[in-house]
Protein backbone atom coordinates (compact mmCIF):
# COMPACT_ATOMS: atom_id res chain seq x y z
CA UNK A 1 0.00 0.00 0.00
CA UNK A 2 1.45 3.35 -1.07
CA UNK A 3 0.52 6.27 1.17
CA UNK A 4 0.05 9.84 -0.02
CA UNK A 5 -0.68 12.62 2.47
CA UNK A 6 -2.23 16.04 2.11
CA UNK A 7 -3.51 18.77 4.42
CA UNK A 8 -6.56 21.03 4.17
CA UNK A 9 -7.41 23.76 6.62
CA UNK A 10 -9.23 27.07 6.50
CA UNK A 11 -11.18 28.26 3.47
CA UNK A 12 -8.57 28.90 0.77
CA UNK A 13 -8.94 25.41 -0.70
CA UNK A 14 -12.30 23.66 -0.72
CA UNK A 15 -13.02 19.91 -0.80
CA UNK A 16 -12.86 19.93 -4.61
CA UNK A 17 -9.08 20.36 -4.36
CA UNK A 18 -8.80 17.17 -2.30
CA UNK A 19 -11.16 15.30 -4.63
CA UNK A 20 -9.18 16.36 -7.70
CA UNK A 21 -5.99 15.28 -6.00
CA UNK A 22 -7.49 11.88 -5.24
CA UNK A 23 -8.74 11.30 -8.79
CA UNK A 24 -5.39 12.46 -10.18
CA UNK A 25 -3.57 9.98 -7.94
CA UNK A 26 -5.83 7.18 -9.17
CA UNK A 27 -5.00 8.00 -12.79
CA UNK A 28 -1.28 8.26 -12.16
CA UNK A 29 -0.58 5.17 -10.04
CA UNK A 30 -0.70 1.50 -11.01
CA UNK A 31 -0.14 0.17 -7.49
CA UNK A 32 -2.61 0.22 -4.63
CA UNK A 33 -2.42 3.75 -3.21
CA UNK A 34 -4.36 5.58 -0.53
CA UNK A 35 -4.78 9.30 0.05
CA UNK A 36 -4.87 10.40 3.67
CA UNK A 37 -6.13 13.94 4.23
CA UNK A 38 -5.41 15.70 7.51
CA UNK A 39 -8.11 18.35 7.83
CA UNK A 40 -10.25 20.45 10.15
CA UNK A 41 -13.29 20.06 7.86
CA UNK A 42 -13.97 16.86 5.92
CA UNK A 43 -17.30 17.95 4.45
CA UNK A 44 -17.54 17.39 0.71
CA UNK A 45 -14.49 15.12 0.49
CA UNK A 46 -15.18 11.81 -1.29
CA UNK A 47 -15.49 8.70 0.87
CA UNK A 48 -12.48 7.02 -0.74
CA UNK A 49 -10.14 9.51 0.98
CA UNK A 50 -9.01 8.54 4.49
CA UNK A 51 -9.68 11.43 6.87
CA UNK A 52 -7.55 12.26 9.91
CA UNK A 53 -7.65 15.22 12.27
CA UNK A 54 -4.80 17.70 12.05
CA UNK A 55 -2.52 17.14 15.07
CA UNK A 56 -2.06 20.04 17.45
CA UNK A 57 1.06 22.17 17.10
CA UNK A 58 2.48 24.93 19.27
CA UNK A 59 2.22 27.94 16.96
CA UNK A 60 1.42 31.63 17.43
CA UNK A 61 -2.13 32.42 16.29
CA UNK A 62 -0.98 34.51 13.31
CA UNK A 63 1.02 31.56 11.91
CA UNK A 64 -1.43 28.73 12.46
CA UNK A 65 -2.77 28.91 8.89
CA UNK A 66 0.63 29.32 7.24
CA UNK A 67 2.95 26.52 5.97
CA UNK A 68 4.53 26.15 9.43
CA UNK A 69 1.47 24.05 10.25
CA UNK A 70 2.75 21.37 7.86
CA UNK A 71 5.33 20.45 10.49
CA UNK A 72 2.68 18.20 12.07
CA UNK A 73 3.48 15.68 9.31
CA UNK A 74 6.70 14.96 11.19
CA UNK A 75 4.91 14.04 14.39
CA UNK A 76 5.05 10.42 15.50
CA UNK A 77 2.83 8.53 15.88
CA UNK A 78 0.88 9.96 12.96
CA UNK A 79 -2.60 8.56 12.42
CA UNK A 80 -1.34 5.00 12.84
CA UNK A 81 0.65 5.32 9.59
CA UNK A 82 4.04 3.72 8.95
CA UNK A 83 6.63 3.51 6.19
CA UNK A 84 7.45 5.94 3.39
CA UNK A 85 4.77 8.55 2.68
CA UNK A 86 4.54 11.08 -0.13
CA UNK A 87 3.19 14.48 0.90
CA UNK A 88 1.53 16.62 -1.79
CA UNK A 89 0.22 20.18 -1.52
CA UNK A 90 -3.33 20.77 -2.74
CA UNK A 91 -2.33 23.51 -5.19
CA UNK A 92 -0.38 21.31 -7.59
CA UNK A 93 -1.22 19.36 -10.73
CA UNK A 94 -0.15 15.73 -11.18
CA UNK A 95 0.87 15.07 -14.77
CA UNK A 96 2.86 11.80 -14.62
CA UNK A 97 3.28 8.46 -12.86
CA UNK A 98 3.82 8.65 -9.10
CA UNK A 99 4.89 5.04 -8.49
CA UNK A 100 8.44 5.95 -9.51
CA UNK A 101 8.56 8.52 -6.72
CA UNK A 102 8.04 5.74 -4.18
CA UNK A 103 10.84 3.72 -5.81
CA UNK A 104 13.25 6.66 -5.66
CA UNK A 105 15.67 6.59 -2.68
CA UNK A 106 13.47 4.60 -0.25
CA UNK A 107 13.84 5.45 3.42
CA UNK A 108 15.21 8.94 2.79
CA UNK A 109 13.81 12.47 2.81
CA UNK A 110 13.22 13.30 -0.86
CA UNK A 111 12.17 16.83 -1.78
CA UNK A 112 12.12 19.37 -4.61
CA UNK A 113 15.17 21.58 -4.86
CA UNK A 114 13.66 25.02 -4.32
CA UNK A 115 13.60 26.82 -7.65
CA UNK A 116 14.47 30.22 -6.21
CA UNK A 117 17.37 28.91 -4.09
CA UNK A 118 19.18 26.53 -6.40
CA UNK A 119 22.51 25.29 -5.06
CA UNK A 120 21.74 26.40 -1.50
CA UNK A 121 20.54 23.05 -0.18
CA UNK A 122 16.94 24.20 0.37
CA UNK A 123 13.98 21.95 -0.35
CA UNK A 124 10.56 23.06 -1.50
CA UNK A 125 7.93 21.10 0.42
CA UNK A 126 5.20 21.18 -2.22
CA UNK A 127 6.02 17.51 -2.79
CA UNK A 128 8.23 15.47 -0.50
CA UNK A 129 8.63 11.86 0.62
CA UNK A 130 9.77 10.77 4.05
CA UNK A 131 9.74 7.70 6.30
CA UNK A 132 7.11 8.36 8.94
CA UNK A 133 8.68 8.61 12.39
CA UNK A 134 12.34 8.63 11.29
CA UNK A 135 12.70 12.41 11.64
CA UNK A 136 10.26 13.05 14.45
CA UNK A 137 12.77 15.46 15.99
CA UNK A 138 11.63 17.98 13.36
CA UNK A 139 8.27 18.24 15.12
CA UNK A 140 9.44 17.56 18.67
CA UNK A 141 12.19 20.21 18.74
CA UNK A 142 9.92 22.84 17.22
CA UNK A 143 7.05 21.97 19.54
CA UNK A 144 9.31 22.40 22.56
CA UNK A 145 10.69 25.83 21.58
CA UNK A 146 8.87 27.38 18.59
CA UNK A 147 10.10 30.91 19.24
CA UNK A 148 13.70 29.83 18.75
CA UNK A 149 13.10 28.37 15.29
CA UNK A 150 10.66 31.05 14.18
CA UNK A 151 13.36 33.63 14.86
CA UNK A 152 16.00 31.58 13.08
CA UNK A 153 14.05 30.56 9.96
CA UNK A 154 11.58 32.50 7.85
CA UNK A 155 9.68 29.46 6.53
CA UNK A 156 9.23 25.82 7.53
CA UNK A 157 10.92 24.34 4.47
CA UNK A 158 14.18 26.09 5.32
CA UNK A 159 13.96 24.79 8.90
CA UNK A 160 13.40 21.23 7.64
CA UNK A 161 16.21 21.46 5.10
CA UNK A 162 18.71 22.58 7.73
CA UNK A 163 17.63 20.02 10.33
CA UNK A 164 17.84 16.92 8.08
CA UNK A 165 21.28 15.92 6.84
CA UNK A 166 20.09 12.93 4.82
CA UNK A 167 18.22 14.94 2.17
CA UNK A 168 18.05 14.14 -1.54
CA UNK A 169 16.42 16.13 -4.33
CA UNK A 170 13.98 14.69 -6.85
CA UNK A 171 15.21 14.65 -10.47
CA UNK A 172 14.63 18.21 -11.72
CA UNK A 173 12.48 17.05 -14.62
CA UNK A 174 9.96 15.38 -12.29
CA UNK A 175 8.76 18.34 -10.21
CA UNK A 176 8.59 21.76 -11.81
CA UNK A 177 7.22 25.16 -10.89
CA UNK A 178 4.54 26.63 -13.10
CA UNK A 179 5.80 30.13 -12.39
CA UNK A 180 9.56 29.58 -12.21
CA UNK A 181 10.12 26.63 -14.57
CA UNK A 182 7.42 26.63 -17.25
CA UNK A 183 5.80 30.01 -17.81
CA UNK A 184 7.43 31.87 -20.71
CA UNK A 185 9.44 34.88 -19.61
CA UNK A 186 8.21 38.42 -20.14
CA UNK A 187 7.20 39.55 -22.75
CA UNK A 188 6.78 36.10 -24.35
CA UNK A 189 4.20 35.20 -21.69
CA UNK A 190 1.76 37.51 -23.54
CA UNK A 191 2.08 35.49 -26.75
CA UNK A 192 3.08 31.93 -25.84
CA UNK A 193 1.09 29.27 -23.95
CA UNK A 194 2.88 27.66 -21.02
CA UNK A 195 4.22 24.25 -22.17
CA UNK A 196 4.24 20.93 -20.29
CA UNK A 197 7.49 18.90 -20.70
CA UNK A 198 6.81 15.16 -21.18
CA UNK A 199 8.93 13.99 -18.21
CA UNK A 200 7.00 16.13 -15.70
CA UNK A 201 5.19 14.34 -12.88
CA UNK A 202 4.16 17.30 -10.72
CA UNK A 203 3.59 20.98 -11.49
CA UNK A 204 3.62 23.13 -8.36
CA UNK A 205 1.75 26.43 -8.20
CA UNK A 206 3.61 28.41 -5.56
CA UNK A 207 2.05 31.77 -4.76
CA UNK A 208 -0.12 32.95 -7.62
CA UNK A 209 -1.63 31.96 -9.97
CA UNK A 210 -3.42 28.86 -8.65
CA UNK A 211 -4.30 26.08 -11.12
CA UNK A 212 -7.88 27.31 -11.54
CA UNK A 213 -6.57 30.80 -12.34
CA UNK A 214 -3.94 29.65 -14.85
CA UNK A 215 -6.49 27.38 -16.53
CA UNK A 216 -8.48 30.41 -17.71
CA UNK A 217 -5.55 32.78 -18.12
CA UNK A 218 -6.11 34.78 -14.94
CA UNK A 219 -3.36 36.14 -12.69
CA UNK A 220 -4.82 37.70 -9.53
CA UNK A 221 -2.87 40.85 -8.81
CA UNK A 222 -4.13 43.96 -7.02
CA UNK A 223 -1.16 46.18 -7.75
CA UNK A 224 -1.61 47.79 -11.16
CA UNK A 225 2.09 48.10 -11.96
CA UNK A 226 2.69 44.36 -11.52
CA UNK A 227 -0.07 43.59 -14.02
CA UNK A 228 2.33 44.89 -16.65
CA UNK A 229 4.34 41.67 -16.46
CA UNK A 230 2.26 39.24 -14.36
CA UNK A 231 0.20 37.68 -17.12
CA UNK A 232 -0.50 34.14 -18.27
CA UNK A 233 -2.36 32.85 -21.31
CA UNK A 234 -5.02 30.14 -20.74
CA UNK A 235 -3.34 26.75 -20.18
CA UNK A 236 -5.33 23.88 -21.79
CA UNK A 237 -3.30 21.00 -20.31
CA UNK A 238 -4.42 21.91 -16.78
CA UNK A 239 -7.99 20.85 -17.65
CA UNK A 240 -6.68 17.51 -18.91
CA UNK A 241 -4.73 16.64 -15.78
CA UNK A 242 -6.45 18.58 -12.97
CA UNK A 243 -9.77 16.74 -12.69
- Thinking of the domain 2-169, which architecture would CATH place it in? Alpha-Beta Complex (3.90)
Among the listed residues 39, 62, 61, 65, the one whose alpha carbon sits nearest the alpha carbon of residue 50:
39
Among the listed residues 35, 42, 30, 5, the one whose alpha carbon sits nearest the alpha carbon of residue 132:
5
Average pLDDT, consecutive stretches of 10 residues, N- to C-terminus, the chain (243 residues): 97 95 98 98 98 95 91 97 98 98 98 97 97 97 95 95 95 97 96 97 95 95 85 97 97
Question: Any idea of the CA torsion for 16, 22, 24, 27, to the nearest 10 degrees?
Answer: -140
> pTM value?
0.96
What per-residue confidence (pLDDT) applies to 227?
83
Specify the pairing of strand 109-113 against strand 50-53: unpaired
- DSSP-derived letter for residue 2 is E
What per-residue confidence (pLDDT) applies to 64?
87
Specify the pairing of strand 33-39 against strand 92-94: unpaired
All structural domains of the chain with their residue ranges: 2-169, 175-241
What per-residue confidence (pLDDT) applies to 137?
96
Give every CB contact of residue 179 below 8 A, 6+ residues apart in sequence: 205, 206, 207, 209
Among the listed residues 42, 47, 34, the one whose alpha carbon sits nearest the alpha carbon of residue 5:
34
Residue 15 in contact with residue 238, Cβ under 8 Å? no
What per-residue confidence (pLDDT) applies to 223?
85
Residue 88 in contact with residue 204, Cβ under 8 Å? no
Planar angle of CA 82, 147, 133, nearest 5 degrees: 10
Amino acid sequence: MQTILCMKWGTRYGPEFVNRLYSSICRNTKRKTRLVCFTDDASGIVDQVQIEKIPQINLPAHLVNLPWRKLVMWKYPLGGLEGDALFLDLDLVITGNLDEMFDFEPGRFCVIENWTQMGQGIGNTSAFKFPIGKYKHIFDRFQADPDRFLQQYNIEQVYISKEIEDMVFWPQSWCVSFKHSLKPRWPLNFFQTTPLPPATKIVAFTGKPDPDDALIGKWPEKRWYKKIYKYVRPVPWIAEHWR
